[in-house]
Chain A
Amino acid sequence: MNRANDGNERRRRFDALCAALRPDLFRFAFWLSRDRAIAEDVVQETLLRAWRAMDELRDEKAARQWLLTIVRREHARLYERKRLPTVDVDELIEREEPLLAAPDELAVQDVRRALFRLEESYREPLVLQVLMGYSTEEIAQHMGLKVGAVLTRLFRARHQLRAILAGENTSAVPAARLEST
């Protein structure tokens, strides 16, 4: 009976964590993949892995960072397993148009499209900083980089984003990889 109660309590805690953190996990996965369906799958896989490894989480205050780390790993695992073909970034934008064209002001939509064109190595630290509120040191730890490298990427990310928005030809923007649904 106690074991059943323990199990129920654990599931209840886990469900509460999922409900609270799922928006962050989805948005992080989406900006990594730029593909809504992949993001949903990555989040699903993340939550399953998290459930199996729930005992590793000693402090629930650290749950968000722990889960975001799993999202990053699951997203990377997808590319390790599958060599996905290349597709033009315009095609990716077109595919996610319903999400990009959410009822926001036009300027916000423009920024979303520009973010699609931003290199992943710049996009990820930017998302962690702006959306997740990570400090530079936390981003460095999350990405396995030195603090100086993170600062450089953050600066370049904004610089490149402004250039894209200004309509400049940014040769640093590569064709996007296709990420599946």
Chain B
Amino acid sequence: MNCLDYRRALETEPDRVTPQMQAHAQDCAACTAWSEEARAFESRLKRALEVGVPPAKELPLLPALPARRFALAAGILAAIGVATLAWFSFPRTTLAAEVVAHVEEEPQSWGTRDAVASGTLADVLERSSVRAQFPTGSVTYARNCWFRGHLVPHLVVHDTQGTVTVLILSAENVAGKVSFDEDGMRGVIMPAEHGSIAVLSREAPQVDAIAERMREALR
């Protein structure tokens, strides 16, 4: 083994030192010194990769998994149940419930009164391929969230008639406007130019009127 082979091997698999490599290092002071430096580099690399981990988000309520022996029967019953519910009340018990559940997962969204920087808001909208124009300084929370397999803008907007949460659901088409009242939140889901928009609030009594303005803000 020559120096080149030794160093190449060490740069590829630093933890794998073969007898040939050991033999070479014993006879080569330059490579021994080089391996010390390589070890220090590996240590720095490992520490660099160990970035801080943010606190865990609360997982959404996970659907209960039935015991395996009941899985098939339960699955069929669940499918029938879901189909029946969807038939009678779509989208209230599906889309609306998921919207409410999602918003409840991010209670910190209501906690800030500082307006989101216009650049940040533009980034959030752009990442979801959404165009919208909200009054300057009215948005206090803006981020892209996973929702039904898509990255959607999740905003908190301060309207003259109250504060609302807005989810812009470009991939969700609804037949018409649906009002809902779930877990203390009132809201509407209505068709928008692309997909739909969900607007909900705990406090604003005029959600319908605000929702219309939010829809108009989409371009």
Contacts and interface: CB of A to CB of B under 8 A. Distances in A.
Nearest to A36: B54
B62 A27 contact: no
Interface residues of B, number: 42
A6 B67 contact: yes
B13 A30 contact: no
A108 B48 contact: yes
A26 B49 CA distance: 11
B59 A40 contact: no
Given A45-B146, A155-B12, A55 B68 contact: yes
B56 interface: yes
Interface in A9-64: 10-11, 14, 18-19, 22-23, 26-27, 30-31, 36-37, 40-41, 44-45, 47-48, 51-52, 54-55
A48 B151 contact: no
Interface string A111-136: 11001000000000011011100001
Contact of A131 (B49, B66, B123): B49
A86 interface: no
Contacts of B63: 51-52
A177 B91 CA distance: 36
B150 A81 contact: yes
Contacts of A84: 127
Contacts of B123: 180-181
Given A22-B53, A54-B65, A48 B60 contact: yes
Given A27-B49, A36-B54, A3 B66 contact: yes
Report which residue of B46, B62, B66, B70 has the largest number of chain A beta carbons within 10 angstroms of its beta carbon: B62
A159 B128 CA distance: 37
Contacts of B44: 107-108, 111
A136 B13 contact: yes
Nearest to B105: A44
A45 B53 CA distance: 17
B45 A178 contact: no
B111 interface: no
24 contacts: A3-B67, A41-B144, A44-B59, A48-B62, A51-B59, A54-B65, A82-B129, A102-B51, A108-B47, A108-B48, A109-B48, A130-B45, A131-B49, A136-B13, A151-B13, A154-B11, A154-B12, A155-B8, A155-B11, A159-B11, A180-B123, A180-B127, A180-B144, A181-B143
Given A82-B129, A151-B12, 18 more contacts: A14-B62, A19-B56, A26-B54, A45-B146, A51-B59, A51-B62, A82-B128, A85-B126, A108-B47, A111-B45, A111-B47, A112-B48, A112-B51, A158-B11, A158-B41, A180-B127, A180-B151, A181-B123
Interface of B: 8, 11-13, 41-42, 44-54, 56-57, 59-60, 62-68, 70, 123-124, 126-129, 143-146, 149-151
